[in-house]
């Protein structure tokens, strides 16, 4: 009767050692995967100086490659939003304002080929830029504008994404964060619930990438404010755009940490700070509203 009792501690001890060995093995594999991901990031990208943002960036493609990627993706992106808007006069205004900003700001000193597209979608309030200079704005957002300056604010913001090389930078970082998240997933893998571990790894990667997205949005606000002012537009119009975005959410914005875009209220605060820094003596009265 005593023998089964005497074997229980030994069975428990072997299980503990097995569990410890499994954790050690996962840790080693995780470290190897993390080092491989970091090495692939640094050896597979190049560090370049961006004279517009005055920062060093790591990117995995040239400006020409960005331009080609944007041109190839533009038709498909337009199709997802109902195609191009049939109103030629509205499209002409978008072209006019966009090109005025490019030609009168530092964006015009780059090699990017800017084209501006008004999309037919009248339900989705959105504007976005593809790498290389393809810029889109939906009819749903365009129709909410009351001034030309508001249009200039949105287009200037999207131009900021292009010259800031945000897409190229994010694509390079995405591979790194995915690799590191995968390494973390290996270390914390729960043999009894592998799906839960995979979900955790995906959340880690998503959170890291969302932080980069918010930083890019704030930088594009600063650049857009500067670009539109250089083109003769009142940068305070960008503040009224933030009001439009806030109203479109019904004033019920989700927590900023879980969004790729900062809350409009926070963006307004940063824009106001940038305006005051750019115009310490006040915004000139002769700028286009």
| Spatial distance between the Cα atoms of 124 and 126, rounded to a whole number of angstroms | 6
Question: Residues 6 or more apart from 134 whose CB is under 8 A from it?
Answer: 70, 71, 73, 74, 77, 115, 117
pLDDT of residue 47: 87
Average pLDDT, the chain: 81
Greatest alpha-carbon pair distance for the chain in Å reads 99
Task: Identify the three-state secondary structure at position 141.
Answer: helix
Q: The whole model's pTM is what? A: 0.76
Q: Which of 45, 42, 169, 148 is nearest to 98 (CA)?
A: 148
User: Burial, 288: exposed, middle or buried (Cβ in 10 Å; 0-12, 13-18, 19+)?
Assistant: middle
| Spatial distance between the Cα atoms of 149 and 152, rounded to a whole number of angstroms | 5
Question: Residues 6 or more apart from 210 whose CB is under 8 A from it?
Answer: 257, 258, 259, 260
pLDDT of residue 118: 98
What stretches in the chain show pLDDT beneath 50?
1-3, 5-20, 200, 204, 207-210, 251-253, 256-257
Q: Which of 127, 131, 109, 108 is nearest to 118 (CA)?
A: 127
């Amino acid at each position: 009767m005593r023998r089964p009792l005497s074997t229980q501690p030994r069975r428990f001890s072997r299980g503990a050692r097995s569990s410890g060995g499994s954790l050690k093995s996962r840790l080693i594999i995780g470290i190897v995967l993390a080092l491989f991901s970091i090495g692939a990031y640094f050896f597979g990208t190049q560090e370049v100086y961006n004279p517009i943002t005055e920062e060093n960036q790591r990117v995995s493609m040239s400006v020409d490659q960005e331009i080609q990627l944007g041109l190839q993706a533009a038709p498909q992106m337009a199709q997802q939003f109902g195609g191009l808007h049939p109103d030629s006069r509205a499209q002409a205004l978008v072209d006019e304002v966009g090109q005025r900003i490019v030609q009168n700001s530092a964006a015009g000193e780059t090699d990017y080929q800017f084209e501006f597209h008004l999309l037919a979608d009248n339900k989705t309030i959105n504007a976005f830029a593809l790498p290389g200079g393809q810029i889109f704005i939906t009819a749903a957002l365009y129709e909410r504008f009351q001034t030309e300056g508001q249009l200039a604010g949105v287009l200037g913001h999207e131009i900021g994404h292009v010259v800031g090389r945000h897409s190229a930078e994010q694509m390079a970082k995405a591979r790194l964060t995915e690799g590191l998240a995968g390494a973390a997933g290996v270390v914390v893998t729960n043999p009894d619930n592998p799906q839960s571990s995979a979900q955790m790894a995906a959340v880690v990667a998503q959170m890291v990438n969302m932080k980069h997205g918010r930083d890019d949005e704030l930088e594009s606000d600063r650049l857009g404010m500067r670009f539109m002012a250089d083109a003769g537009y009142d940068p305070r119009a960008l503040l009224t755009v933030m009001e439009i975005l806030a109203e479109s959410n019904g004033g019920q914005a989700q927590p900023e940490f879980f969004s790729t875009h900062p809350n409009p209220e926070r963006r307004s605060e940063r824009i106001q700070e940038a305006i005051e820094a750019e115009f310490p003596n006040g915004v000139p009265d002769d700028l286009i509203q």
